[in-house]
Structures are given as structure tokens and as C-alpha cells.
């Protein structure tokens, strides 16, 4: 009788910050994790450090803005594993400067932001979707942000309704796009075992936030891990934070 294989997860942008902690927490739950990043050496070093703690983690080079790089990573995963159970789309950037008016952010920041936060996320997902469909219980987790919620942005009582966060129009719009992609893909896959959800990690202390925030990375990773490990009764096509469904 063969031994069941552990679930296999790919986490993008996982060499540091929330992605790194998502990879750790999944591995601690017995998941085999492909810890990916655009820098091969950084990904392999991070994976090796976790293996030293007894965790089942492999490094994988994956630049989400590179079509060739995505294809190369896909070829590695297909050759070595033949399937993918969990995809956590965590890679993201914030290049806009706090303090500028929305109309003052240059177009180059819009284009750079969307290349990683939305276009890269969509391209990675569509590339790996055939492998995810081979899973008995595929899960796609798209790491969004409360800044992707138009409802929150319009709520004068929300922390998003502030000079600081209104100075990030490209980042916010890219995460709104991620939420829209989540809804569309969940609809496409509604009659399959694959579940697709967006998550808000919480305002987490990372380099992306210049070290500011309310949560440490341990807490910031929890929602992504929870949605990655959903059972068959779990939801699809939702936007969540720590068990709470958020308004789009």
C-alpha cells in the first residue's frame, strides 16, 4: 500500500515578509512547500534554512513578471511533482510614495505595480491551473489588501480613508483587480473541486509598509494559510480576513 503524498503548495514572493511566513506555516502543517522568489539564491537559502528546522521546503526561482520565468518554473513543478494542490499568489510590490495626491503618482508606477500585483498574478495562475486541476482539492489564494475594497475606501471610518492610503491609487487599484479576478476565476471553477479566494492579511509590519502596521508577519500569514487549507465544505469566491468576510 503506497503512502499518501503530502499536499504540495507554491507560494510566490516567499523569500521574506508575509510570503515567507505563509510558507513556514504551511510547512508546519505538513504541506510540502515550494518557496519561490525572483532571486534563485535567496529562494534556495530561505528554503534551506527551513529544511534545517525539519520542514519540507524547496526553493524555486519564479519571477511573476517574466513569461519565460513562469514557463520555466512550471516545467520544473510539472516534471518533479506532476500536480499542484495549493497556489498562494503572494508576490506584490508598492512603489508609490506616501504623501502624494492620487493624480500626482506617475504612470510608470501604475504600470510597474500592475505588472507584478495583477498581471503577474493572473499569468502565474493561468499557467499553473492545469496542474491545480489535477489536485483532488485545489486551492488558489490571492493575497489582496483592504486597500482593494472600494467599500472600505469610501467608508470615512476606515483606516483606508486617509491621506496616507489615498496616496496609493495604483496599489489599491491593482488589489481591486485581484479581487475581481478572484470572483471571475471562482465562477469558472464553480463546478470543480478548486476553490479560489482573496485574503486581506491585515495591516502587517513588512518592508512594503516601511515597517508600519498593526500585525506581525505571524498574524499576517494566518488568513492565507487558513484559506489554503480549506476543507471541501469551505467557501469559494470570497474575500476574507481572519474568518470575517469583507465587502468588495
Determine phi and psi for 149, rounding to 5 degrees.
-90, 115
Report the candidate in 96, 146, 93, 95 with the shortest Cα–Cα distance to residue 121: 93
| CA angle (35, 38, 43) in 5-degree steps | 35
Alpha helix segments (H runs only) across 1-142: 17-28, 40-51, 67-80, 107-114, 121-133
* Cell of residue 118, nine digits: 495583477
Of the residues 159, 161, 171, 187, only one is catalytic, namely 171
- Asked if 11 contacts 22 with a C-beta cutoff of 8 angstroms, the reply is yes
Instruction: Give the residue from 194, 178, 183, 180 showing the smallest Cα distance to 129.
Output: 194
| 203 included as an active-site residue | no
Strand partners for 33? 9, 57
Give 148: exposed, middle or buried? Use CB within 10 Å, 0-12, 13-18, 19+: buried
Catalytic residues: 171
Amino acid at each position: 500500500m503506497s503512502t499518501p503524498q503530502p499536499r504540495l503548495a507554491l507560494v510566490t514572493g516567499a523569500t521574506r515578509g508575509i510570503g515567507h511566513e505563509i510558507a513556514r506555516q504551511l510547512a508546519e502543517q505538513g504541506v510540502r512547500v515550494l518557496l519561490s522568489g525572483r532571486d534563485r539564491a535567496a529562494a534556495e537559502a530561505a528554503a534551506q534554512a527551513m529544511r534545517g528546522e525539519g520542514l519540507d521546503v524547496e526553493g524555486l526561482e519564479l519571477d511573476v513578471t517574466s513569461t519565460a520565468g513562469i514557463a520555466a518554473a512550471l516545467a520544473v513543478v510539472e516534471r518533479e511533482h506532476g500536480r499542484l494542490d495549493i497556489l498562494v499568489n503572494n508576490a506584490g510590490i508598492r512603489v508609490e510614495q506616501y504623501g502624494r495626491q492620487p493624480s500626482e503618482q506617475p504612470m510608470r508606477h501604475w504600470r510597474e505595480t500592475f505588472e507584478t500585483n495583477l498581471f503577474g498574478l493572473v499569468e502565474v495562475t493561468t499557467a499553473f491551473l492545469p496542474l491545480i486541476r489535477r489536485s483532488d482539492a485545489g486551492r488558489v489564494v490571492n493575497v489582496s489588501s483592504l486597500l482593494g475594497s472600494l467599500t472600505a475606501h469610501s467608508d470615512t471610518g476606515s483606516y483606508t480613508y486617509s491621506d496616507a492610503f489615498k496616496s496609493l491609487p495604483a496599489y489599491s487599484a491593482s488589489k481591486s483587480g485581484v479581487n475581481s479576478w478572484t470572483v471571475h476565476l471562482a465562477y469558472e471553477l464553480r463546478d470543480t473541486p478548486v476553490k479560489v479566494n482573496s485574503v486581506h492579511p491585515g495591516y502587517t509590519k513588512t518592508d512594503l509598509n516601511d515597517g508600519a502596521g498593526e500585525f506581525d508577519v505571524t498574524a499576517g500569514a494566518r488568513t492565507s494559510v487558513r484559506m489554503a487549507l480549506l476543507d471541501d465544505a469551505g467557501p469559494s469566491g470570497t474575500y476574507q480576513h481572519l474568518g470575517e468576510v469583507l465587502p468588495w
